[in-house]
Structure 1
């Protein structure tokens, strides 16, 4: 099993299968588990079950390769870690390895059925511009120290050549945290002042 992080939010199971083309995934798309985060929406993370430990090790060669305009981090994982992550996404309910089908897209794993989502959801996303090109997710979390950012809530942006663009999107746990975050607009990080903008989750997904 491997874990993927930094996936585009509109990624499909087929796109992940194509990313690992040539590697042995015996169960096809059923072995690709997209993880849901805030409001039962994809959080940019997934797990993939390979046919053997050797195949999973070989798949690590795809670490930091691109899907779309984002580079994807690939880590070794195991069944226990996968179930823990998917159970967290399911609001603590035990993970059942069967997809929940959405009429709007591919099967999704985890997530709380009936959790608030779709119409009426208040966006809690901030776009950052002017970041140092060597910025890391931890740097951004430190910049927003004291505010609540969900697991995998920091999304660094890269161009087609896998180079940082100096932009990032950050999902906060509440609109109140986003408003507090906006007080950091034009503060400095690594010698550069950083601009902050309120954006919708739809804008982030399309970025």
Structure 2
């Protein structure tokens, strides 16, 4: 049975209905008239309800980076923010001093912009808003450059990049630099799939905040295997090319202990 009398506040029910309608009308106030259309009671003439635009892709562009900076340096520069990826821009095989940093949430872009013109080492770094398309284009350019030419040509280019790697003593341990921050042990095992590395031979290094630093160590069965694995130097894992360096058990243990 419907109650047709007055409500306790003296109203006749129509005011209560109006209040209920205002509470479900987005963008309106319970205490005032709606300033926008009510999508529940005024549907679109085309039969669909408009949706809010998706949030912007959370990426910033960096300029003026030191030429010896690493992903860890960028993560420290944006201390307190969630870093998803760092991409350094190269041209003709040389670092340009520019890069991109993908953050965890769109809101963090505003916080990243507050670091504009702050110092990284002795250089100040400029921080700009960027777009998904610019970041993807930079990835495509990096992958194209890393994959260009035959394997023999790529090996020659890697050798000229750092001749000291060929003459370094191998102890069965390699250091990996430039890993995506999302890289897992399984990803690294797949990267070295020809060598059958077990999971406990992969050590992903964490930074002081307990997050991946972009570096890792891999233990091989012998020094000969680690030397043979250097053919993977500057090959890609996902969208990133990975640099390999001969290392030692002592250096590996020290890096692991720093991240604990």
- TM-score > 0.5, shorter chain as reference: no
Q: Shorter-chain TM-score: what band?
A: 0.3 to 0.5
Larger Rg: 2
Higher percent of residues as helix: 2
**TM-score, with normalisation over the residues of structure 2?**
0.33
Question: Relative CO higher for 1 or 2, CA cutoff 8 Å, sep ≥ 6?
Answer: 1
Q: Which structure has greater strand proportion?
A: 1
Give me the TM-score of the superposition, normalised by structure 1. Answer: 0.41
